[in-house]
Amino acid sequence: MWTHRSYCLAGLLSCILLSGPLSAQSAAFPDAANAGTWPNAYADIRAGQLLESATALLESAQANAAQQALLEALQVIRVNHGLRDHRQIQPLALLIESLFQQGRWDSADDQIAYFQWVNNANQALDFPAYLRGSQTLADLLLEASADPANPQAVRYLVAARNLNWRTITAIEQRLGRHDQILAPWLYRVVLNHYQQSALIRRRGLTSFSFHSDADALVNGFRLSNNETLEMSFGIGEELLERIEALFPGQSLQQALVRLQQADWQQIFGRRTEARQLYEQAYAMLQQSGLDQQRLEAFFNQPALIPATQLLGELPDYGPALEFHAWSPLYPGLEQQTALRGPNPAMHSQAELTLDLHSDGSLDNLRFENIEPESAAVKEEMRRQAQLLTLRPPLPGAAQIRKDLRLRLSLSGFYHLQSSPLQLADSANQEEQP
Amino acid sequence: MTVLMKAAMLWLVVMTLGACASISNEPLRQLPSDAEVEQYNASVPPDEHIVCRMERSVRSNIPRRVCRYVKDIAETSAFHREQLRRVLQ
């Protein structure tokens, strides 16, 4: 008779019999016994460690080593969380950054496409994360478009603008056309058009057409410079009006957008329209309950336009104008993104004084000190300073403001040290139709 | 005489206004703005891009906004090139 006890004994016996050969195997291969203590190459914790070391490598300009670490980190994340997991976004952004630093534009394009695929997969699951991912990628694309070593700088600007538009479309589909979350995204497109207009004004750029070597049209179409500038101005004007309409009943916010509408007119040389809009903005700010003294002080302070962000409150400007030039490809434009830290070895700065006229024009530039002392750096500084646009003084203020102080700095303008002429050449290569 | 002149003038004015009205009888089309076109183009492949610009037609000197698909422009110009080539042969 088989009882419970006999079943139990039979079970124990079979366990002993089965474990026998295994123990023998462990004795023959001592390493196998320690298999539990082996480091797991795909342990989840490794992704964070690799990311940390890659960040340090990128900061010390070891882009190739950083790239290897980031590829490994991505593999660990994929193994643990799947191919579409949003945790890949951060290492992917750093990977693209490392490829930019190495000038490996083709590989960067592949990773950008993968970034977009992962981010789009995330859209339905975590919309705020999708928006953050889009912003990161748009900043990266802008950064690439500002790199003088990039042979296709304009293509990256167009890609950044298209990505901003697609994000706007996604927001509209999810939250509607009147959600205030649209405002900063619409302003990003406005800035993209300002950047585009800076490129168009450069000599040598006649169109935004990109043709492949074959007969096929790759992207874009051909327009005259004036037509393109007119279109950029019109789109910016329309979008700023749309931003204002997103804040019904919010008088301060509407007044600040009106101020930025005036700045837009001023940038494109429409001074009469700008003057009218400045006056309207002044009246609206007054009505919104702002302190009169602060308002007067604000309008009498010189300010560089356009603002790099949509204004949320009346900004306080310092006594001196500060301008950090973005790139030799975009003269007169302020640094848009802080993704790539300036390399101190390539940093140059100057202090200069200038006069501002009532129409917003600048003249009488005088350098007070410049570092490093170099004819090429000085020439670039002068070129940048002459292209700046300032908000004009209000009627009633002094018609000419003399001796305005401007602190100007350039970072990453590494070509300047060797041959400044290369800048223009590399910038104009692909735009020639 | 003056009455006849006035009647003739009135008839002329009515006919002129009528002629204008006949133009506006065409179905009204709300063409997309440049920003809308750009937003659309950002989400579609290059072949499906739209281009809008001001053009003067043969019968009028007043520029009108015209929008076309890039694909159609390419096909039309290829067709015209082919026709020209046949004529010149």
Q: Which residue has the higher pLDDT, A242 or B61?
A: A242
Question: Residue A226 — very low, low, confident or very high, per pLDDT cuts 50/70/90?
Answer: confident
Q: Which residue has the tokens 């749309």?
A: A242
- pLDDT exceeds cutoff 70 at A33: no
- pLDDT exceeds cutoff 90 at A153: no
A235, B35: Cβ pair inside 8 Å? yes
The pLDDT of B8-20, averaged and rounded, is 67
A166, B49: Cβ pair inside 8 Å? no
Percent residues over pLDDT 90 in chain A = 38
Is residue A17 within a helix (H) or strand (E), and if so which, with residue range? Answer: helix A4-28
Residue A51 contacts B, CB cutoff 8 Å: no
pTM: 0.79
Q: Given A162, A221, A234, which is nearest B34 (Cβ)?
A: A234
CB < 8 Å to A234, chain B: 33-35
Helix axes A127-145, A105-122, angle to 10 degrees: 160
Q: Given A165, A217, A219, which is nearest B39 (Cβ)?
A: A165
Q: Provide φ and ψ at A127, rounded to 5°.
A: -65, -45
Residue A356 contacts B, CB cutoff 8 Å: no
CA A144 – CA A98 distance, rounded (Å): 11
A169, B42: Cβ pair inside 8 Å? yes
Nearest CA in chain A to B74: A217
pLDDT tens-digit profile of A121-130? 989 999 999 9
- pLDDT exceeds cutoff 50 at A220: no
CA B89 – CA B75 distance, rounded (Å): 21
Distances (CA, A) of A323 to A5, A44, A96, A311, A409: 88, 44, 28, 18, 6
Q: Given B42, B70, B74, which is nearest A162 (Cβ)?
A: B42
A238, B34: Cβ pair inside 8 Å? yes
pLDDT tens-digit profile of A168-192? 999 999 999 999 999 999 999 999 9
A218, B46: Cβ pair inside 8 Å? yes
Residue A103 contacts B, CB cutoff 8 Å: no
A235, B70: Cβ pair inside 8 Å? no
Whether the CB-CB separation of A247 and A180 falls below 8 Å is answered with: yes
- pLDDT exceeds cutoff 80 at B2: no
| C-alpha distance from A390 to closest chain B C-alpha (Å) | 26
Nearest 5°: CA angle at A47, between A43 and A50? 120
pLDDT tens-digit profile of B33-43? 999 999 999 99
Q: Given A223, A227, A238, which is nearest B33 (Cβ)?
A: A238
CB < 8 Å to A239, chain B: 35
- pLDDT exceeds cutoff 60 at B84: yes
| C-alpha distance from B53 to closest chain A C-alpha (Å) | 9
Q: Provide φ and ψ at A351, rounded to 5°.
A: -120, 130
Whether the CB-CB separation of A278 and A390 falls below 8 Å is answered with: no
In this prediction, residue A329 carries a pLDDT of: 83
Average pLDDT, chain A: 80
The pLDDT of A214-229, averaged and rounded, is 59
Nearest CA in chain B to A172: B39
| C-alpha distance from B38 to closest chain A C-alpha (Å) | 8
User: Where are the alpha helices (H) located in A202-342, listed in sequence order?
Assistant: 225-245, 251-267, 271-287, 292-300
Of the segments A257-271, A294-308, B12-26, which one has the largest average pLDDT value?
A: A257-271
B33, A168: Cβ pair inside 8 Å? no
- pLDDT exceeds cutoff 50 at A20: no
User: Which residues of B fall below an 8 Å CB-CB distance to A?
Assistant: 33-35, 38-39, 41-43, 46, 49, 51, 53, 70, 74
- pLDDT exceeds cutoff 80 at A338: no
The pLDDT of A360-380, averaged and rounded, is 82
Residue A169 contacts B, CB cutoff 8 Å: yes
Rounded to the nearest angstrom, the gap between the alpha carbon of residue A195 and the centroid of all alpha carbons in its chain is 12
CA A34 – CA A137 distance, rounded (Å): 44
- pLDDT exceeds cutoff 80 at A207: no
CA A83 – CA A70 distance, rounded (Å): 15
Q: How buried is residue A75: exposed, middle or buried, by Cβ count under 10 Å (0-12/13-18/19+)?
A: middle
B34, A235: Cβ pair inside 8 Å? yes
Rounded to the nearest angstrom, the gap between the alpha carbon of residue A211 and the centroid of all alpha carbons in its chain is 26
Nearest CA in chain A to B46: A219
Residue A183 contacts B, CB cutoff 8 Å: no
Give ipTM to 2 decimals. Answer: 0.77
Written as six digits, the tokens of A384 are 């940048």
Nearest 5°: CA angle at A297, between A292 and A299? 95
Q: Spell out the residues 6+ positions from residue A91 whose beta carbon is closer than 8 angstroms to its own.
A: A47, A50, A51, A54, A70, A73, A74, A77
- pLDDT exceeds cutoff 60 at A9: no
Residue A219 contacts B, CB cutoff 8 Å: yes
In this prediction, residue A159 carries a pLDDT of: 93
CA A364 – CA A382 distance, rounded (Å): 11
Q: Spell out the residues 6+ positions from residue A71 whose beta carbon is closer than 8 angstroms to its own.
A: A95
Percent residues over pLDDT 70 in chain A = 77
CA A157 – CA A244 distance, rounded (Å): 26
Nearest CA in chain B to A236: B35
